[in-house]
Amino acid sequence: MAIRNQRFERISREIQEIVGAENVFTENMERVLYSYDASMTKAMPEAVIKFGGIEQISPVVKILYKNKVPYVPRAAGTNLSGGCSALRGGAVLNLSALDRIYRIDTTNRYAVVECGVVNQKLQNELAKFGYFYAPDPASQKVSTIGGNIGENAGGPQCLKYGTTFNNVLKLEIVTPEGEEVILSVSDPGPDLAGLFVGSEGTFGIVKKAWLKILPLPKILETAIAYFADIESSIKTVTEIISAGLTPRALEAMDRLSLEAAAKNSGITYPQNAGAALVIELDGESESEISSQMKKIEKICAKNFCINFNFSSSAAEREKIWNIRKGAYPAMARLAPNVLVEDGVVPRPRLPAALKEIKEIISKHKLRAGFLFHAGDGNLHPNIIFDERDIEETRRVKKAGYEILKACIMLEGSISGEHGVGVEKRIAMSWLYDKKTLDVFRGIKQAFDPLQLANPDKIIPIASDKHAKPLRSTHESRGEKAEKLINEIKFRHRTGIKTAIASYSTKIPGLHLCDLAPDVDCQKIEGLKELNEIIDFDRDNFTIKVETGISVAELKKRLLPDGFYLDVPDMNGSMGGLIATKSSPDIRDILLGAEILLPDGTVCEFGGKTLKNAAGYNVTKLLCGSWGAFGIILTATLRLSPYQTEKPIPLSLDVGGAPQHNFFKPNDFHRRLKNVFDPGNLFNPWIFSG
């Protein structure tokens, strides 16, 4: 640490000239205060730098970059996976004072905020105008927008309105080199803004954010249902969703969590209750919401609900939510430490996940309260312990890993919204194969060549114990897919460049090969023949398809089962829709993808869970990539139980001038191209200029 301190001393005066000497701390006390977050991880930084204005971020980062000093962006420090820990020393950048709300535009429905704005502060300001911001993590009273973006935070309302990813419109970021860049979801080309969300500060720092805001609903109805056991409440959740109902929130909690929260808040509950389910509906029609709530009450009664209480006022609603949102801090009062796991499984697998997790907790002789974002399959077992007891701490860590493994084996993931950070880093090798992890490493390298921005997070490092994935990363493929893979392997060996021309959305006058007729490459045949439905999970509202299937054909095949694909009616293949991003709606329903890389290997990203915060969001990066990063073999899509009217984008409107949504590669695109396709073998004209 002495050498490291000398490293920072060389640049301390230069940084002080930017932020002020009073805002640079190297004393032990201040460094200790920033050596931990809400997780179990601890690491001492060399210095803490506090910022008084967002204009200071870039020049400070440029100094750190020039001198190769690593840094960790931080504000509230509510991270539950060790993401705020300074593993390589360096500087912790305290951004909490950067809390200005620049604009609330109710006409265009967006707000512009600095990274340090507390989530609840934004909600309070928006409420004055009759609006709200959908992501509402349990930590929203203290967590900041920058942190929420870094972790792709969710919360109860994300069941209906999506996670942070679905509610970010544009970001102004500071890269690890200190450059200021704006990324927008409407930018043509690969979805860089979507990739940045959930990157845990490893690609740089969010400076400002443009966020989607929504009108407060006219009708809001909240209820709490009590059950004899947690299993009955989870079964109820599955039946509510299967009935085609989409609540604003469906939150389950067990007896221990209920007891702790009630004791802390003074709220009473039935003494024979073993679990509680918080249910919230919103909408514009009082009669419609009332009818939906009655249906839910009947489903609860069918599953032996002990008591079903409606909120009769805003104060009653707040009491109900105090039970749920007060559960974690209440659990923290029962013991010195709490390990909060964050696994996620497909919603129908929740009962099986609950059974396995309870067995794990019992086997290791531990106590845990269970909290669930039950509507989207996200589990939060809160294991209470005392880290001063070395043996108990060992059992807690082992149980935590076993819980994550159980989620993986149930087709789930290791994180729904808390991220990977340090504490789940080793679990990434249980979820992804080596090639996929290498892609993640390459993406990190593309954004941060010197490994300075929050280093050693997310991706396993040399000191981690590596293992093979717990479940097969690729299901058995058909003859047509294997033939395609072998053809690409041959082309890679022989250096043949490939035109992935089937990625056409039937835009008038457009064919991919027409964009560069002089480029010497061969078209790949057979993509349209990859048109099978691989996995139609009706209970989970998801479907996995080969991407040669046409959008129209897939919609047609879903109708008899009462499901809808939430994209406009259009011609062309599903792969073409994703690759060209012809409809922006695709980024919201695409949950997972298998891609065939130019070297013939196949990587799988995402999956069939509605939330997934494990690793970089490559699935969304593929949207708008025009086949330049790989051939999208399969796509896992979220289905809707009801039909919505989606306008056909101008680019697909035969009556309008075609807009190809094509892109001119920027520096980030070129760096990423080198990760996926260093030989520029796929659609080479895009990057040949």
Residue 306 has pLDDT above 50, yes or no: yes
Q: Burial letters for 335-346: b for 16+ Cβ neighbours within 10 Å, e otherwise?
A: eebbbbbbbbbb
The arithmetic mean of pLDDT across residues 442-471, rounded, is 90
* pLDDT tens for each residue of 157-169: 999 999 999 999 9
Instruction: Please name the residues in contact with 38: beta carbons below 8 A apart, sequence gap of 6 or more.
Output: 77, 78, 79, 80
| CA 149/CA 147 separation, integer angstroms | 5
Per-residue pLDDT at 435: 94
> Running DSSP on this structure, what letter comes out for residue 411?
T
Question: What pLDDT is attached to residue 502?
Answer: 53
Q: What confidence score (pLDDT) does residue 5 get?
A: 64
Quick check: 615 pLDDT over 70? yes
The confidence band for 469, taking pLDDT boundaries of 50, 70 and 90, is confident
Write out the two tokens for 288. Answer: 């419609």
By CB atoms closer than 10 A (0-12, 13-18, 19+), residue 219 is middle
- What would the pLDDT profile of 233-263 be if each residue is shown by its tens digit? 999 999 999 898 999 999 999 999 999 988 8
- Overall average pLDDT of the 343-361 stretch: 96
Q: Is the pLDDT score of 351 beyond 80?
A: yes
pLDDT band for position 504 (cuts 50, 70, 90): very low
Distance separating alpha carbons of residues 39 and 15, to the nearest angstrom: 29
One-letter amino acid at 650 equals L
High-pLDDT (> 90) share of the chain, % = 82
Count other Cβ atoms within 10 Å, centred on residue 472. 9
**Contact residues for 486 (Cβ-Cβ < 8 A; gap 6+):** 600
Average pLDDT over every residue of 70-82: 96
Please report which confidence band the pLDDT of residue 203 belongs to, taking 50, 70 and 90 as the band edges.
Answer: very high
Please determine whether the domains at 2-94 and 101-215 fall in the same fold group of CATH.
Answer: no
**What are the Cα distances from residue 251, in Å, to 49, 155, 240, 555?**
38, 10, 12, 31
| Mean pLDDT, residues 468-497 taken together | 87
Closest CA to 360 of 336, 378, 343: 343
Give the pLDDT confidence score for residue 570 in this predicted structure.
82
pLDDT at 510: 46
SS3 438: helix
Query: What average pLDDT does range 533-560 have in this prediction?
Result: 95
Lowest mean pLDDT among 12-26, 65-79, 325-339, 594-608: 325-339
Confidence of residue 642 (pLDDT cuts 50, 70, 90): confident
Enumerate the domain spans of the chain. 2-94, 101-215, 219-329, 479-687
Binned at pLDDT 50, 70 and 90, residue 50 comes out as: very high
- What is the average pLDDT value for the chain, to the nearest integer? 92
- Give per-residue pLDDT as tens, 256-282: 999 998 887 777 899 999 999 999 999
CB 73 within 8 Å of CB 117: no
Q: Please write the tens of the pLDDT for every residue from 93-152.
A: 999 999 999 999 999 999 999 999 999 999 999 999 999 999 999 999 999 999 999 999
Fold of 101-215: 3.30.465
- Residue 659 pLDDT class (50, 70, 90 cuts): very low
Q: How confident is residue 506, by pLDDT bands cut at 50, 70 and 90?
A: very low
Three-state secondary-structure class, residue 581:
coil
Band (507; pLDDT cuts 50, 70, 90): very low
Q: What is the mean pLDDT of residues 520-543?
A: 91
Amino acid letter, 52: G
pLDDT at 414 over 50: yes
Amino acid in the structure at residue 689: G
Q: In terms of CATH architecture, what is 2-94?
A: 2-Layer Sandwich (3.30)
Average pLDDT over residues 288-297: 96
CATH of domain 219-329: 3.30.70.2190
On whether the 479-687 domain is CATH 3.10.129.10, my answer is no
Comparison of pLDDT for 423 and 510, the residue scoring more = 423
* Unique residue bearing structure tokens 């390298």: 445
Task: Quick: pLDDT tens for 563-611.
Answer: 999 998 888 899 999 999 988 899 999 999 999 999 999 999 999 999 9
